[in-house]
A = this chain, B = another copy of it.
C-alpha cells in the first residue's frame, strides 16, 4: 500500500488531492476545530491509522518500531529525559523520528533536522523603592528606565545584530549548507509585507541563514503604566524579559555569561535577585539578573539515517524532495530527550502550519490529516536498506 500524492497546481503550490474518508468525499480545506486537534491528538491518530493501514495491507516494516508517547510534553516533558535514561537499553535505536512541530510556512511537506533551544533572562533596573512624584523629584531621583534602556540599546546595533563580542562564535555555514538553506521556499518579501515592515534584521542574508544563529529578543518590557493608566511618577523598577534562542553551537551558559559580563562592564552593579538593603545603599546603578535555560538546541546531519529515511518516504509519496529545514527557529521541549537518547533525529510534521496550536481555534485541516497519514505510511513502508 503506497499512496501517491504528487500533483502541484499551476502555481506550483502543493495540490491536495481529494480523498475519500469512510466512503464519503470531503473537502480538503474542511477543518476539525478542537483543543489539541493538531497538537497532538492529530499526529497520534495519524500514526495509529498508518499502522492500521499497513497491517490491513499486510505490509511488514523493514525495521523494528519503538514508540514513545509523552503526555507531559506541554509541561516541558519534566520526566521524559530521566525515563529514557532509566530505560536506555530498552530504547536503544538507530534513529529517531519525531511526529511534532509545524511544517514550513508554505505548508509544503517538510522534514526538519533540529530546533533552536531557548534560555531566558529577566533584567530589572532599580530606581526609588516605590514610585515617586516626577515633579517633586524629577532631576533628583534617578529613573530606572534610563538605566535599563542604556543596557538594551547596547545589545544590538541599529541593524539588529547582537553586539556582545563572541555571541555568534563557532557558527560557520559552508557552501553545501548554504545551498540546502537556499532551497527552502521562503517568501521573505511576503513576510515583511504581511508584518508591515520595510526591512528585516541583518544578522544573515536570508531567513534560513539567520535561524542558524542564536537570537536575542526582548519579549516584554514594563515600567509603571502607559496609556490611560499613565501617571506622572518616576517608576520604582523597569523590567525587560529577554529570550535567547540557541543553536547547536551555542553553550547557553556561555551566552548568558556574555550578557551578564557586558552589563557589569557598562558599570552596573548586578544583583542576583531583588537587591538587599545594603546593596541599595552601596551601589548604583543596580540591575538584577535572573536566568534560566529551558532547553538546548539539537540538530542532526542532513545525511544521517532518520533524515534519509524520511526523505525517501516523502520522495516516494510526492515525487520530489520535501522542504528540508536545518534548524527550526522555534524550540521544542523534546531536545533534552533527543540528547539523552543520543541517536540522530528528524522531525516529520504531519499537520497544517496554520493550526493555531496553543491558541483559540486550534484546528486540523482534513487535507493535512489525510496527507500526514499518507506520509507516515510511505515512510514506514520504506525498506530499511538504502535502495
Contact = CB atoms under 8 A, between A and B. Distances in A.
Given A135-B245, A153-B149, A226 B220 contact: yes
Contacts of A275: 196
A264 interface: no
A140 B235 contact: no
Contacts of A143: 160, 217-218
A218 B223 contact: yes
Nearest to A186: B140
Nearest to A224: B220
Nearest to A222: B226
Contact of A284 (B198, B220, B282): B198
Nearest to A200: B140
Contacts of A221: 145, 221-224, 226, 235, 238
Given A143-B217, A150-B158, A194-B129, A199 B284 contact: yes
Contacts of A240: 145, 226
Interface in A186-219: 188, 191, 193-201, 203-204, 207, 210-211, 213, 215-219
B136 A329 contact: yes
A213 B235 CA distance: 20
Given A145-B221, A220-B225, A221-B145, A135 B330 contact: yes
A134 B331 CA distance: 10
Interface residues of A, number: 89
A88 interface: no
Nearest to A124: B226
Copies of this chain, tallied across the complex: 2
Nearest to A134: B217
A257 interface: no
A152 interface: yes
A141 B329 contact: no
- The CB with the most chain B CB atoms within 10 A, among A200, A218, A222, A331, is that of A218
A376 to B, nearest CB: 25
Nearest to A328: B135
A156 B146 CA distance: 7
A232 interface: yes
B234 A219 contact: yes
A297 to B, nearest CB: 11
Interface string A120-156: 0010001111101111111111110110111011111
Contacts of A226: 122, 220-222, 239-241
A230 interface: yes
A116 interface: yes
A231 interface: yes
A145 B152 contact: yes
A329 B133 CA distance: 9
B141 A197 contact: yes
16 contacts: A127-B197, A138-B215, A138-B216, A138-B329, A140-B200, A143-B218, A152-B153, A153-B153, A193-B281, A219-B224, A219-B235, A220-B231, A221-B226, A221-B235, A222-B225, A222-B227
Q: Which 4 A-B pairs have the closest CB atoms?
A: A135-B330, A138-B215, A153-B153, A149-B152
